[in-house]
Every structure is written in structure tokens, then in C-alpha cells.
Structure 1
């Protein structure tokens, strides 16, 4: 089979499409024929060699953790899923023609594989950080960098829970944020005052890592009311950096429920082939997404 791999840390140019043996699912795992794989910032962070404790890397390494596809093989002890079923979930080396998943759920009715592949990690992250920041119904949450995959999920989940959201994004994404139910404003000079004019901020999330931690602490008045998933220097300012995933099976179950109730939809902004993985990483690192980027196999 074909898979994307890297043998050294570095820029997108270290990614190569190689021939590899098909993986075999161990106990409690399944193997799928990958139809689409989600592109996440953690993918290029690991490729660059950033130290992320929850994701140790041994070289050479495959790439990717989110995928959707058709079950090819079921490992020992797995029940409730069989060969030929359409599933989406989390695993390893998912930029490939086949991959092993350790958490999965049926693809929700009406979703394409491309759409389904964009949900697992971003929804798990959104659920985790909303819980960690401690925002409650009736309060206001500020989301810095709100138009990407995680931001799209945060805005919709918060709305479903009765939380008001103020979102910052580029000028081109203001209507997108409003369509998701957020009070929207642009980043750049004067953004703090623009946020203040939209209302009091009870908690804040940094999704873009654009050097705004001090301002988020100022707006909330308490570093414990700020969580970052993008700024490794956040702990230096007393702010929690959230990089360790929670329960993916629980997140997938909630994803299915939200989609079934019509409360969650994350659009696919752009698709790539396996051979275009380096381009996908360059685009992901540049930011400014509206929804998700996905590799189609």
C-alpha cells in the first residue's frame, strides 16, 4: 500500500509517499481502507519535531491520526463492527491507503467520508477545552482564532450549551463566524477594545497561537480562565496548555449525537491527495482556514 512517511524532522519537504506493508490490527483495534484523513496541526508539529508529550515519535514515522473509511479487518475482542462497515475515528499513520484505528464510530447518516474525517480530533479537542476552561451556560467565551476546525466545533458546541461566544478571525471569515452564532470581530490593532465593546469575557480559548495570551488574561482577569492549544509558552504566564487528549470514544459518541440533532456541521475547506500531503501541511501551518482540510485517498 501507499502511505505518507518522514524519516527526519523538518519542513514539509521531509514528507514522502512510500510503499509499505499493510498494518494489522491488534486486540481491540480495526483496520480500515482509508477514504479520507483529517489534516490537523498536531500532524505538522510532530513532523517538525516539536516536543508533545502525549505523542512520542519514533523515526521513520507515518503521519495522521484522524480517518474515515471502510472496515477491512477486525482485531481480537472487537464487537459491534464488521468488515464493510463505514466508520470514522482515530488511529495512527492515517495518511495512507490502510490504517489501524483504536477508536471509531459509524459514519453519521448523510456525511461523506471527506466530511467525517474532519471531525474526530477537532471535536474531542473542542469538548476537552470547553470543559477545562470552566465556562458555564449563560456566560461568555472568547475564542481567538475561531474559524478553523476546532473553532468551528467550539462555537457550535458552546451555542448548544447556552454559552455566548465572541470569536476573532480574519476579515474574510466574519460572516462565517456569525453564521455559526458567534459575535464576531477581527484580530489586529485594537482587537481587545473591539472585544470589550461586544461584552464581558468570562473565559477565553487560544486556538491560533498568535501571541495573545497576555491580552486574553487581561480580558478574563484570571489566567486560570484561559486555555491554549497552540502556544507552548502559555504556562509561563500561568495559562494551561492543553495537549493531552481525553476520551475519544466519548467524543465520537457526542459528535454523532450533535450531528444527528443538527447542532454540528464542520465544512471541508479544501481536499488534497496523498501526494499533496506537504502542500496540506503548508496550508495548515499558514492558518486562516474556514473549517477543515482533508486528504482524500
Structure 2
């Protein structure tokens, strides 16, 4: 391991954890020894840690990640980090101390992002473009990878196709609309009236106010629907698909029902779970370098205010992303 002595034994690290499922107030700031990287791992001084809907759902004891950690509490949440490498294991040759990195780490049972230091596998990281500060970069990996994999691996979106993206101004949504536009698709997005201008600035062709308009009456013959809402929204969206169209639904709790309904209608629908992929992150980083994609931060919170961040996150209606400033 590359000089662990001065990095890992002096000042304790701060981290947020919870020892039981519940409301945001179960999130507690504590201290522990700075971990050392094991084989294949690096130690990162975290600048930014992204927040995602899975974070509050897991904190409440909901979903598949909660099932995996329920017997190993207390647990430090957080799957998104960006920061500076401070130490690497002896067998790591791809990264070195001083590298600016971002990655989706510890998914789904490891976590560890809500901290000022984190260890993770070297192959989970991509280099952060110089154009992006490290706090902002911490908000990118999970949401951007979700959008990328849903659009290009599952839906196989192509140039010239017409796509409807629900919750286009949200964390995953604002990446998805930009990726789809960059690929040459015609992009329709749902959002509240307050986010119409934001999406127009990103280049979205049509914005539908979900509060006043039924998409099933407004859209038809679509090639792709990216459903980031689930439930009744996903169900109604099946009626907007063309015969060869495909719907990709992200919320796992209603995915099976939507997929079953699609089968009964002779249509295609798929669920998906995001996975770490540094190669995809590299491609996304290139788009940021070229100015084709930007990361919108709604608000940054100090690490000590993680509970306040969860309150806002759980309420929905966040434009872009929330991030913890762990410096």
C-alpha cells in the first residue's frame, strides 16, 4: 500500500450512519478510524457525496438494499463519491495519490459514501474532468449511470427516435434528457410548470406539465418511454408506445405490475437496476468535457446536515441533484 502511515492513523474520519431504520433523525454524525485500502482498493478523501432516492428508501427499511443490510447495522449510506485519491493498495496500478476520481461505490450492501474518507475498488472509479469541481462530481455517478444504462443498454435508444422521459428535471431525468439529446433523439419530458424553463435550457423539444396533462392523451407512437416515477404513471405511459416501442421503468416496487400490464397489451417493458461501470463513467466524463452535458446541483449540504438533506430528498421535486459537501 502506498504510504498509509501519515494518511490513515492520525485524525479520525467523520461519517454519517444509522443503527436502525426510520425517519431522517436516525442519521447520526460520528467518528472512526480512517480505513486502509485492501487488495484492489484505493482510499479517497471525499469532497462530494451524492444523494439518491435509494438512500432514503433504504433508511426507511424499504427495498432490496435494506434487506441486505438489516442484519449489519449500524451502516454508513451513500453510493456516490468524488474526491482525491490519498492511498492505494500495492496491487493497484491504474490510480495514484493525487488523482481526482468519481465513482459509484459499495453497491448495494457496502455503501460508505457519507464520510470524509472512503475505501472502494479502484475499478469503480473514473477520472473527474477538470471542468467539474469535486463536490459537484460526487452527485453524478449513480444517477448518470442509471440514465445511461436505461437508455442505451436496455432501451437501445437511437438517433431519430422519439422518447418520453418522466420527471425530466430530476436527478436521473436531467441526465437522461441530455444523453438522449446528444444521441440525436426527439425528447419529450414531463415536469412541473416550474421546471419548464430549466428543461428548455437543456434543449428538450417538448415539456408536458404532468399536473395538468395526461400523457396518454398527448403522446402516441413513441419509440421509448423512460419511466422514473412508476405506479400509475408507468401504467398510463404504456398507451403512448408504438407497436415496436419499449418502456423502461426504474422504481422497483411497481416494475413487475407494469411489465405484466405491458405483456397483456402485447408491448415491451423492462425494469432495471443500475450497476457500477467505470467505462460508462468515462464516456459521460467526455460529454462533460465537451460541454454536451452538465450536472445541476439543486443544493449542497454539509455532512453534519445529512438529515436535512434526506428531508428535502424524500419530499421529491428536487431539480437536478442534492450533494453532501464532505470537505
The TM-score normalised by the length of structure 1 is 0.92
1:128-167 to structure 2, matched below 5 A, reads 128-131=149-152, 132-167=154-189
Q: Residue 120 of structure 1 contacts residue 251 of structure 1 at CA under 8 Å; is this kept in 2?
A: no
- Residue-pair matches, total: 294
Which structure would you say has the larger Rg? 2
CA distance in 1, matches of 2:48, 2:303: 10
Q: Is the 8 A contact 1:90 1:121 kept in 2?
A: yes
Q: Does 1:188 align with 2:211?
A: yes
Name the residue aligned to 1:272: 301
Q: What CA distance in whole angstroms lies between the structure 1 residues aligned with 2:113 and 2:252? A: 25
Extract structure 1 runs of 4+ deviating beyond 3 A: 221-224
* Residue 174 (str. 1) matches residue 193 (str. 2): no
Is 1:116 aligned with 2:137?
yes
Are residues 229 and 222 of structure 1, via their aligned partners in 2, closer, same or farther at CA, if it must alter by over 3 Å? farther
Q: Partner residue of 2:64?
A: 52
- What TM-score, normalized to structure 2? 0.84
Q: Distance in 1 between matches of 2:231 and 2:202?
A: 22
Task: Tell me by how many angstroms 1:80 deviates.
Answer: 2.9
Write out per-residue CA displacement over residues 68-90 of structure 1, whole angstroms, 9 at most, x where no aligned residue. Answer: 11111102321132112221112
Aligned match of 1:218: 239
**Please, which runs of 5 or more residues in structure 2 have no aligned partner?**
1-12, 106-110, 260-268
State whether structure 2 residue 18 is matched by structure 1 residue 41.
no
Q: CA deviation at 1:54?
A: 9.9
Cα distance per residue 1:146-190 (max 9 Å; x no partner): 101211111111111111110001111001111112111110243
Q: CA RMSD in A?
A: 2.0
- Using the alignment, how far apart are the partners of 2:227 and 2:114 within structure 1? 27
After superposing the two structures, state which structure 1 stretch, 102-111 or 231-240, moved more. 231-240
Structure 1's unaligned 5+ residue stretches are none
The answer to which of 21-30 and 164-173 deviates more is: 21-30
Alpha-carbon distance change, 140 to 55 in structure 1, aligned in 2, over 3 angstroms: farther
Structure 1 residue matching 2:62: 3-state secondary structure: coil
1:263 aligns to 2:287 (yes or no)? no
1:80 to 71, 94, 97: 94
Q: Cα gap change, 1:54/1:78 in structure 2, threshold over 3 Å: closer, same or farther?
A: farther
